[in-house]
Structure 1
Amino acid sequence: MMNASNTPLLPNFVAGQWVNGQGTGALLTDPVTGAALVRVSSAGLDLPAAFAFARDDGGAALRALTYGERAALLKKVGEVLAANRDAYYDIATANSGTVKTDSAIDIDGALYTLGQYARWGAALGEARVLLDGEPVALAKDGAFQSQHLLRPTRGVALFINAFNFPAWGLWEKAAPALLSGVPVIIKPATATAWLTQRMVADVVNAGVLPAGALSVICGSSAGLLDQLGPFDVLSFTGSAETAAVIRSHPNVVRHSVRVNIEADSLNAAALLPGADDDALQCFAREVAREMTVKSGQKCTAIRRAFVPAERFEAAAQAIAAQLAKATVGNPRGEGVRMGALVNREQFDNVLAGLETLSAHAEVLLDGRAAPWVDADPAIAACLGPTLLGCHTPEATDANAVVHQVEVFGPAATLLAYRDEAHLLALVRKGEGSLVCSLYSHDAAALAATAAELADAHGRIHIVTPAVAKLHSGHGNVMPQSLHGGPGRAGGGEELGGLRALGFYHRRSALQAAPEVLAALGATARI
């Protein structure tokens, strides 16, 4: 095991140069072996200079380019990252404890998202101005008109990210920001900052982006919000508690900083009344997959699984049969399908959450007793999947805790409901979620239920047996679709194709004669 005192310190990249933070910093470790990996520190950085350089140098250089030219930069970034893909997998295994298929969701998902925005941006061509809608007449015969347009904000995009997606979490935000012409400062979660820092380092060293377009600060976030100004934007992924602190920060309030929040969410999956056995199997496979992929450490993972009361036992058995395939342990081990939680702190948090839920629901399958492959129980942060349940609608009604407490790990609760109206009411007890998935063979029932629940979710994922092998997955965030959700989920929106550019632009209405509007030059309408 590496001695912590000899562990290398990862530098930060700010104001166009690599800078080491002061002090010993925070130690990043292997969540399976406990080995020290790297250290990170942001102490002592000149944050005002870092933000000013990004705004002034990075922003000006990006805005000087067309949308098509910025899209070409994204393509080059993707090529650099693809060339170093193997190194990223090694870092993910060591620092996140993920098996290869789970690492792919993060790393290859990042590459795919970058590629999509490069293609969508290329279609904008030589445009320097984006038009929002058609011109509207303000005078007789259209002699005086109003045209809404979008222009990139002249600030910086600060990203404060979560630990579970150090690769995708960076690039799903950075791709639309850079395409918009807005420089990026990324503050990854400390526990898994190594992969984010390495990706930024590879892009910086390749010289494919203008100076100041991309910066990375690893370690404490202290002082970052103090640097934000009226034209900056802030995107945060993490807990609702931290989100509340960010929203109420005096500098954010004083400057009306535009903020996007993606917070924790009690996402639901529902087998609809009358669903056939094939739909039940689709439901069971997806619940089990969301419990085990990345050890359940996904903001979109299924936490509440609803079934008609008469199908409860069949659903529980089907889910358990799927979970029996999940071999847990060292991700380097032969046949291991589920790796570790991110660290022992998260391991302890999950155990505490399971204790809370198990006091209100029956433990149907206890992952805390599952054997581990090639992992020391005294050191590793491994944990098998735990399925809890409330067998009757009455038990479900009495269980308020399951709609309030999220265990951010390999856990879900199976809940019985009476009828369609009861199901809709129960799902809404989550008070807003990122995603809800619905399962049935009945297209009309699925469409009606989806429409009824759409206002409470950023995404409704609908699965029929016909798409069992085709659908993208309840928890997979695709760049073509919106990611975010109302209420408890944070109220934010990301991705959704070119809709994502709206967060990084300012909308303005030009009121003028048609000939003035025609003189705007190269434009694209979105």
Structure 2
Amino acid sequence: MTELLSNYLVGRWQAGTGAGTALFDPVLGTELVRVDATGLDLSAGFDFAREQGGTALRALTYRERAALLGAALKVLQANRDAYYEIATANSGTVKNDSAVDIDGGLFTLGTYARMGDALGERRFMLDGDMARLGKDPLFQSQHVLTSTRGVALFINAFNFPAWGLWEKAAPALLSGVPVIIKPATATAWLTQRMVRDVVDAGIFPPGALSVVCGSSAGLMDQLQPFDVVSFTGSAETAAVIRSHPAVVQRSVRVNIEADSLNSALLLPGEAAGSPAFELLVKEVAREMTVKSGQKCTAIRRVFVPEALYASVAEALSARLAKTTVGNPRNDTVRMGALVSRSQLAAVRDGLAHLTAQAEILHDGSRHALVDADAALACCVGPTLLGTRDASGSDGADRIHDTEVFGPVATLLPYRDIAHALALVRRGQGSLVTSLYGSDAAALASAALELADSHGRVHVISPDVGALQTGHGNVMPQSLHGGPGRAGGGEELGGLRALNFYHRRSAVQASTDVLAHLRTPSAA
């Protein structure tokens, strides 16, 4: 029988008492490890994290916590090769795609280590300036941010087992809040291994960092009023979390990142083959194929002027046709597998749903697999759909309502910029949209028009074509999240991420008392 991964709870490694759920290689179909959380004393685990981990973390300054993040980063960097091997086996990703997850997570962790060091020897943050409460300046108000005295529960998605861990854990731990991670079962191996390496190195206080693999049953039941929960995944599961008594009755703070119909928009005035045109084509193809399109930020809808519809379709199809699909262990392969058989079935079902209202411009099923058995591997080629009825007057509404979480995007034409902006908003709130063009004023105007319905607006003009960080790459300095169907949550954004793990309070006192709060030596 394969290895049963242990959980880390109450300051010790514990195996579940059940047979466990098997994790598989999505290309070879072989069983890798098993995960199980049956029989764990979750109540004791949460209490231990709050009382032991939280107390120890809050006793440290931001700079001291940042040093712990830096020490964890060194441990992870030393074991980086092992993480790549796990990603290849469990996620079916090629090396470059594994880097997006693994190196992206390490970069985020390092970024917060540096940010925390800059906060210095303090244990709380000031929020704004003092404000007079009357004519006499003697009595004033000062808002402060102090660490919440609870635990942070992270329920993560399958597509980013490394980055999804550290983009949440880094700001939480820096804030002085202990974390309990529940990774998605299908790819829990990488998350568990990273936590194991850091825990075994003895870097964080006992109870500061815990991981529960397997079923999430009972986790939400443990949450108390000052705890927080952050979830990444489907809108259906998000609705269950929001309706849980912990949230509804105990006011547990919740952050949601749900599915999102992200878009790319080529502004009017560009010609076929222009620099902006080529940048759009290159970025859309990349977003469709990186991690086999299994990214919450991937481009799903592509909007272009009506006159360029055929040209973009041809250029995109030609680029996608060069994508080799199959076993990520083969150096000639550029796109690996979907994460599981269930995900493969979901993508096929989603394609059938969309093709009822759209035509296939590039057929991913025609890609021959390299070093992989088509009957066994969870591989599917990149598929570009298209419809000339972008508004949906002839029944193309599914394009704006359904996300296929795989290497699939739909090309859509627009009449003018007002029509284009209206179509982008049909996504009902997204994590990110990207704009392509060469007119700076037009790009700025469009960015502001779409900012209210997107967590991030990524503007790509020819002058930054070689510098831009990528439509789908989530940088720790910028906000990650989005309104509406994207979940309404906010993560990262530099030090803004710390707000979720702090409580804001107004201290009303004499200027002499408040002056003590504002001194660098304040506790």
Q: Same fold (TM over 0.5)?
A: yes
Asked if 1:255 is matched to 2:250, the reply is: yes
Q: Which moved more, 1:141-150 or 1:8-17?
A: 141-150
Q: How many residues align?
A: 520
Taking the aligned partners of 2:343 and 2:433, their CA distance within structure 1 comes to 25
Q: Give the one of 333, 341, 346 matched to 2:338.
A: 341
Give 2:190's aligned residue. Answer: 195
Matches within 5 A, 1:362-511: 362-393=359-390, 398-511=395-508
TM-score, length basis structure 2: 0.98
Give 2:80's aligned residue. Answer: 85
Q: Give the one of 264, 268, 286 matched to 2:283.
A: 286
| Helix, strand or coil at the partner of 2:507 | strand
Confirm or deny: 8 A CA contact 1:129 1:522 kept in the other structure. Answer: no
Asked if 1:163 is matched to 2:158, the reply is: yes
AA at the equivalent of 1:471: Q
Give 2:299's aligned residue. Answer: 302
Confirm or deny: 8 A CA contact 1:267 1:434 kept in the other structure. Answer: yes
Matches within 5 A, 1:77-156: 77-156=72-151
Confirm or deny: 8 A CA contact 2:391 2:423 kept in the other structure. Answer: no
Confirm or deny: 8 A CA contact 1:127 1:522 kept in the other structure. Answer: no
Give 2:44's aligned residue. Answer: 49
Confirm or deny: 8 A CA contact 2:390 2:396 kept in the other structure. Answer: no
Q: Which moved more, 1:497-506 or 1:461-470?
A: 461-470
Q: CA offset at residue 393 of structure 1? A: 4.9
AA at the equivalent of 1:62: L
Asked if 1:216 is matched to 2:211, the reply is: yes
Q: CA offset at residue 524 of structure 1? A: 9.7
Taking the aligned partners of 1:119 and 1:188, their CA distance within structure 2 comes to 26
Asked if 1:73 is matched to 2:68, the reply is: yes
Taking the aligned partners of 1:342 and 1:396, their CA distance within structure 2 comes to 36
Confirm or deny: 8 A CA contact 1:160 1:187 kept in the other structure. Answer: yes
| Helix, strand or coil at the partner of 2:433 | strand
Matches within 5 A, 1:169-248: 169-248=164-243
Taking the aligned partners of 2:175 and 2:394, their CA distance within structure 1 comes to 47
Asked if 1:29 is matched to 2:24, the reply is: yes
AA at the equivalent of 1:348: A
Taking the aligned partners of 1:177 and 1:324, their CA distance within structure 2 comes to 43
Identity %: 69
- Pick closer, same or farther for the CA change 1:515–1:169 going to 2, 3 Å: same
| Helix, strand or coil at the partner of 1:384 | coil
Q: Deviations over 1:88-114 (max 9, x none)?
A: 000000000000000000000011000
- Pick closer, same or farther for the CA change 1:148–1:346 going to 2, 3 Å: same
Q: CA offset at residue 395 of structure 1? A: 6.0
- Pick closer, same or farther for the CA change 1:521–1:448 going to 2, 3 Å: closer
AA at the equivalent of 1:516: V
Q: CA offset at residue 251 of structure 1? A: 2.4
Confirm or deny: 8 A CA contact 1:59 1:183 kept in the other structure. Answer: yes
Taking the aligned partners of 1:521 and 1:26, their CA distance within structure 2 comes to 52
Confirm or deny: 8 A CA contact 1:485 1:493 kept in the other structure. Answer: yes
Confirm or deny: 8 A CA contact 2:225 2:246 kept in the other structure. Answer: no
| Helix, strand or coil at the partner of 2:255 | strand
- Pick closer, same or farther for the CA change 1:393–1:519 going to 2, 3 Å: closer
Q: Which moved more, 1:163-172 or 1:515-524?
A: 515-524
- Pick closer, same or farther for the CA change 1:462–1:315 going to 2, 3 Å: same
Q: CA offset at residue 274 of structure 1? A: 0.7
Confirm or deny: 8 A CA contact 1:482 1:493 kept in the other structure. Answer: yes
Asked if 1:325 is matched to 2:326, the reply is: no
Taking the aligned partners of 2:224 and 2:327, their CA distance within structure 1 comes to 45
Confirm or deny: 8 A CA contact 1:390 1:396 kept in the other structure. Answer: no
Q: CA offset at residue 179 of structure 1? A: 0.2
Q: CA offset at residue 523 of structure 1? A: 4.9
AA at the equivalent of 1:145: Q
Confirm or deny: 8 A CA contact 2:126 2:518 kept in the other structure. Answer: no
Asked if 1:270 is matched to 2:265, the reply is: yes
Confirm or deny: 8 A CA contact 1:55 1:155 kept in the other structure. Answer: yes
Give 1:516's aligned residue. Answer: 513
- Pick closer, same or farther for the CA change 1:397–1:309 going to 2, 3 Å: farther
| Helix, strand or coil at the partner of 1:301 | coil
Confirm or deny: 8 A CA contact 2:391 2:397 kept in the other structure. Answer: no
- Pick closer, same or farther for the CA change 1:228–1:392 going to 2, 3 Å: closer
Q: Deviations over 1:421-451 (max 9, x none)?
A: 1111111110000000000001000000010
Q: CA offset at residue 403 of structure 1? A: 0.4
Q: CA offset at residue 22 of structure 1? A: 1.3
| Helix, strand or coil at the partner of 1:142 | coil
Q: CA offset at residue 317 of structure 1? A: 1.2
Q: CA offset at residue 238 of structure 1? A: 0.1
- Pick closer, same or farther for the CA change 1:319–1:190 going to 2, 3 Å: same
Q: Which moved more, 1:277-286 or 1:161-170?
A: 277-286
Taking the aligned partners of 1:86 and 1:296, their CA distance within structure 2 comes to 24
TM-score, length basis structure 1: 0.97
Unaligned runs of 5+ in 1: 1-5
Taking the aligned partners of 1:476 and 1:520, their CA distance within structure 2 comes to 39
| Helix, strand or coil at the partner of 1:519 | helix
Q: CA offset at residue 322 of structure 1? A: 1.6
Taking the aligned partners of 2:284 and 2:94, their CA distance within structure 1 comes to 19
Confirm or deny: 8 A CA contact 2:323 2:335 kept in the other structure. Answer: yes
RMSD across aligned C-alpha pairs, in angstroms?
1.2
Confirm or deny: 8 A CA contact 1:309 1:393 kept in the other structure. Answer: no
Taking the aligned partners of 2:104 and 2:163, their CA distance within structure 1 comes to 6
- Pick closer, same or farther for the CA change 1:105–1:522 going to 2, 3 Å: farther
Taking the aligned partners of 1:327 and 1:370, their CA distance within structure 2 comes to 7
Give 1:3's aligned residue. Answer: none
Confirm or deny: 8 A CA contact 1:177 1:183 kept in the other structure. Answer: yes
Matches within 5 A, 1:343-362: 343-362=340-359
